[in-house]
Amino acid sequence: MASSEFKPLDEKSLIEYIKNTPVLSNQIGNKFDELKIKEVGDGNLNFVYIVDSPDGSFVIKQALPYIRCIGESWPMSKERAYFEARTLKEHGRLCPEHVPEVYHFDHTMCLIGMRYLEPPHIILRKGLIGGFEYPYLAEHISDYMAKTLFYTSLLYLTTTEHKRVVAEFCGNVELCRLTEQVVFSDPYRVSQYNHWTSPFLDHDAEAVRENNDLKLEIAELKSKFCERSQALIHGDLHTGSVMVTSSSTQVIDPEFSFYGPMGFDVGAFIGNLILAYFAQDGHSDSTNDRKSYKKWILKMIEDTWNLFYEKFIALWDKHKDGPGEAYLPEIYNNPELRQLVQRKFMTDLFHDTLGFGAAKMIRRIVGVAHVEDFESINEASKRAECERKALEFAKMLLKNRRKFDSINEVVAAM
């Protein structure tokens, strides 16, 4: 069914919609008697329905023309659904193991029908709060990042193809603007949306707003975010955008995707692991001091970067004679020089990663949208203590990121 105009669905009209959309009704064997529909949108932006029947299941995600968690007072282009579907399909093509399949996209309705990530899949962030270990997490997420970032960059694309997709994703400007505001601006100024664990962090929040060094660094990162079209990035790759089981890792919600700096994705993921680390002291109790779990998170941080490095370079080596136009074979294919340019590229990317990671940490403590890792610590003074440690570490990282040569040094500093 192609709808002629946009209308927000509810559980009732959704059933009608499914009945009129063969690719969806086939998914549940065309049986509507035992259909269960559940609205589960716990994110900040959209409505999400799980559609389940004995014969199959799927998820329906619909974008509304405002930000769900704020309300109609903060309008937001529903066109974001197009870019989410576009990137789910593109990233899914490049890394099908870690991106859920899209069954259906309705542009008019801003609606995506996609794979339901069945239990025991849970949001990674909740797993990290619960203290669960995921043996394949670093392996999987590094695989996803290496493939999606490498194959959409000039390391693999021709300039012609690159500029075509850069132009297309310029259309997702409203979501980019939202990131600019909440990551790069609001934490550094007085804003009605900012909040923090008050009164404990009142001075800490003020100190961020009055720190010229931080403002200098955040300006450089913001300009990279706005101006550098390096790869098709997910744009919001925190631990709430990843669903996991002990053997599966699935990346969801790329509605913020656009052509931006690779370090923004790698940094988002690693920065949120660092937040999870600093939150652990707030989750320890007499039965579990979380010490060994903290070690596991540190290992995840190390492994994620190191495996990403390894896989990214392996793709580069594999495709050194490929279509990519950044480093032409006739110029760069002597092994010594290729190593040299690869090392330089990865060092720059590492420093971007630390910078963006730090920026994402800061905004989760003194900005509009906080993380459950800290929010779920009930005792405010204890929460503030964890948050302060994370904030201080992030500030240090933002200012000194270029002094770090390896992820081991970062982990040692934690």
DSSP state of 285: B
Instruction: Rule CB under 8 A: choose which of 226, 346, 369, 411 binds a second copy.
Output: 226
CA distance 323 to 80: 30
Length of the chain: 414
Q: Does 74 bind a second copy (CB under 8 A)?
A: no
Q: Does 215 bind a second copy (CB under 8 A)?
A: yes
Instruction: Rule CB under 8 A: choose which of 80, 98, 104, 162 binds a second copy.
Output: 162
- Residues 6 or more apart whose Cβ sits within 8 Å of residue 108: 2, 3, 4, 5, 6
Q: Does 173 bind a second copy (CB under 8 A)?
A: yes
- Site map 23..42 versus a second copy, x via CB under 8 A: --------------------
Instruction: Rule CB under 8 A: choose which of 11, 220, 317, 392 binds a second copy.
Output: 220
The smaller minimum CB distance to a second copy, of residues 252 and 262, is found at 262
The smaller minimum CB distance to a second copy, of residues 195 and 222, is found at 222
CA distance 137 to 248: 8
If DSSP codes are grouped into helix, strand and coil, which group holds residue 62?
strand
The smaller minimum CB distance to a second copy, of residues 127 and 260, is found at 260
| CB contact at 8 A, 159 and 321 | no
Residue ranges with strand state E in 63-215: 66-67, 71-75, 102-106, 111-114, 122-123
The smaller minimum CB distance to a second copy, of residues 17 and 356, is found at 356
| CB contact at 8 A, 252 and 100 | yes
- Site map 291..330 versus a second copy, x via CB under 8 A: ----------------------------------xxxx-x
Q: Does 337 bind a second copy (CB under 8 A)?
A: yes
Q: Does 185 bind a second copy (CB under 8 A)?
A: yes
- For residue 327, give Cα distances in angstroms to 68, 233, 242, 339, 376: 44, 21, 32, 12, 47
* Binding residues vs a second copy (CB under 8 A): 154, 159-160, 162-164, 166-168, 170-171, 173-174, 176-177, 180, 185, 188-190, 212, 215-216, 219-220, 222-223, 226-230, 325-328, 330-332, 336-337, 340-341, 344
